[in-house]
Amino acid sequence: MQALIPSHPRAAGRPSLALTELESMSDEDQLKLQRIKNRDSLTELGIDPYGRRLDDVDRMVAVRERADRLNIAAGEKTEMRARLAGRVMLKRVMGKLAFLTVRDGTGQIQFGLSKSELGEQWSIVKKLDLSDIIGAEGIIGKTKTGELTLWVNHLTFLTKALRPPPEKWHGLVDVDLRYRRRYVDLFANPEVRDVFHQRGAIIQAIRSYLVGLGYLEVETPVLQPIYGGAAARPFTTHHNTLDMDLFLRISPELYLKRLLVGGLERVFEISRNFRNEGMSTRHNPEFTMLELYEAYADYNVMMERVEQMVSAAFEASAKQAVPQKLAAIRAEVQRLQAEKGEEAAQAYAQESRLAAYEEAAGGIDKGRLTAVFNGQVLDFTLPWNRRKYADLLAEYGGVEIHDKDAVFAKARDLGIYETLTTRLGDHPPPPTDAAAGSLIDHAVLVSEIFEETVEHHLTQPTFVYDYPAAICPLTRRHPEDDAIALRFEAIACGMELGNAYTELNDPEIQAENFRKQVAGEGDETMAVMDEDYVLALEYGMPPAGGLGVGIDRLVMLLTDSSSIRDVILFPLQRPQST
User: Hey, which residues does 295 pair with through a beta bridge?
Assistant: 544
Q: Does 27 bind RNA (CB under 7 A)?
A: yes
* Cis peptide upstream of residue 383 (ω within 30 degrees of 0): yes
Q: Does 159 bind RNA (CB under 7 A)?
A: no
One residue of 49, 86, 473, 498 binding RNA per CB under 7 A:
473
For RNA, give the closer residue by CB, 209 or 533. 533
Other C-beta atoms closer than 10 Å to the C-beta of 358 total: 17
For RNA, give the closer residue by CB, 188 or 399. 188
Selected range binding RNA among 27-35, 152-160, 379-387, 500-508, rule: CB under 7 A: 27-35
Q: Does 331 bind RNA (CB under 7 A)?
A: no
Other C-beta atoms closer than 10 Å to the C-beta of 327 total: 12
Helix (H) or strand (E) holding 30: helix 27-44
Give, as ranges, the residues between 224 and 243 that touch RNA (CB under 7 A).
Answer: 230-232
Give, as ranges, the residues between 504 and 563 that touch RNA (CB under 7 A).
Answer: 517, 525, 527, 563
Q: Does 323 bind RNA (CB under 7 A)?
A: no
Residues in the chain: 578
For RNA, give the closer residue by CB, 91 or 199. 91
Give, as ranges, the residues between 485 and 514 that touch RNA (CB under 7 A).
Answer: none
For RNA, give the closer residue by CB, 10 or 126. 126
Residue 574 region by backbone torsions, left for phi larger than 0, else alpha for psi between -120 and 50, else beta: beta
One residue of 173, 211, 435, 535 binding RNA per CB under 7 A:
173
Whether residue 245 contacts residue 237, with contact meaning beta carbons closer than 8 Å, is answered with: yes
Selected range binding RNA among 218-226, 276-284, 385-393, 405-413, rule: CB under 7 A: 276-284
Q: Does 439 bind RNA (CB under 7 A)?
A: no
Q: Does 31 bind RNA (CB under 7 A)?
A: yes
Q: Does 208 bind RNA (CB under 7 A)?
A: no
Whether residue 54 contacts residue 158, with contact meaning beta carbons closer than 8 Å, is answered with: yes
Other C-beta atoms closer than 10 Å to the C-beta of 390 total: 21
One residue of 278, 367, 425, 430 binding RNA per CB under 7 A:
278
For RNA, give the closer residue by CB, 135 or 166. 166
Q: Does 451 bind RNA (CB under 7 A)?
A: yes
Residue type at 517 in one-letter notation: Q
One residue of 191, 277, 342, 418 binding RNA per CB under 7 A:
277
Q: Does 195 bind RNA (CB under 7 A)?
A: no
Q: Where are the alpha helices (DSSP H) in 151-298?
A: 175-180, 182-188, 190-212, 253-261
One residue of 30, 236, 350, 385 binding RNA per CB under 7 A:
30
Residue 361 C-beta: closest distance to RNA, Å: 25
One residue of 17, 61, 130, 406 binding RNA per CB under 7 A:
130
Residue 33 C-beta: closest distance to RNA, Å: 8
Please state, in angstroms and rounded to a whole number, the distance separating the CA atoms of residues 363 and 93: 46
Nearest-5° angle of CA 460, CA 463, CA 468?
130
DSSP labels, 316-384: HTHHHHHHHHHHHHHHHHHHHHHHH-HHHHHHHHHHTTHHHHHHHHHHHHTT--EEEETTEEEE-PSSP
Residue 116 C-beta: closest distance to RNA, Å: 3
Please state, in angstroms and rounded to a whole number, the distance separating the CA atoms of residues 397 and 451: 10
Question: First vs last Cα of the chain: how many Å apart?
Answer: 14
Q: Does 569 bind RNA (CB under 7 A)?
A: no
Please state, in angstroms and rounded to a whole number, the distance separating the CA atoms of residues 557 and 351: 18
For RNA, give the closer residue by CB, 418 or 433. 418
Q: What is the dihedral of CA 532, 537, 539, 544, to 10 degrees?
A: 140
Please state, in angstroms and rounded to a whole number, the distance separating the CA atoms of residues 61 and 46: 32
Q: Does 280 bind RNA (CB under 7 A)?
A: yes
Site string for RNA, 388-427 (x = CB under 7 A): -------------------------------x---x----
Query: Pairing between strand 495-502 and 481-492?
Result: antiparallel
One residue of 52, 170, 238, 366 binding RNA per CB under 7 A:
170
Residue 574 C-beta: closest distance to RNA, Å: 3
Closest CA to 513 of 468, 466, 469: 469
Residue 130 C-beta: closest distance to RNA, Å: 5
Residue 557 region by backbone torsions, left for phi larger than 0, else alpha for psi between -120 and 50, else beta: alpha
Give, as ranges, the residues between 79 and 108 that touch RNA (CB under 7 A).
Answer: 90-97, 99, 101
For RNA, give the closer residue by CB, 207 or 477. 477
Q: Which residues contact 182 (CB under 8 A, 6 or more apart)?
A: 569, 570
For RNA, give the closer residue by CB, 363 or 503. 503
Give, as ranges, the residues between 252 and 271 that touch RNA (CB under 7 A).
Answer: none
Site string for RNA, 281-320 (x = CB under 7 A): x-x-------------------------------------
Residue 5 C-beta: closest distance to RNA, Å: 16
- Per-residue 3-state assignment (H helix, E strand, C coil) for 401-448: CCCHHHHHHHHHHCCHHHHHHHHHCCCCCCCCHHHHHHHCCHHHHHHH
Residue 572 C-beta: closest distance to RNA, Å: 9
For RNA, give the closer residue by CB, 423 or 515. 423
Residue 31 C-beta: closest distance to RNA, Å: 6
Q: Does 449 bind RNA (CB under 7 A)?
A: no
* Dihedral angle sign, alpha carbons of residues 155, 158, 161, 162: positive
For RNA, give the closer residue by CB, 90 or 409. 90
Q: Which residues contact 482 (CB under 8 A, 6 or more apart)?
A: 469
Which phi and psi angles does 148 have, rounded to 5°?
Answer: -60, 130
Give, as ranges, the residues between 356 and 395 that touch RNA (CB under 7 A).
Answer: none
For RNA, give the closer residue by CB, 324 or 562. 562
Q: Does 146 bind RNA (CB under 7 A)?
A: yes
How many residues interact with RNA (rule CB under 7 A)? 73
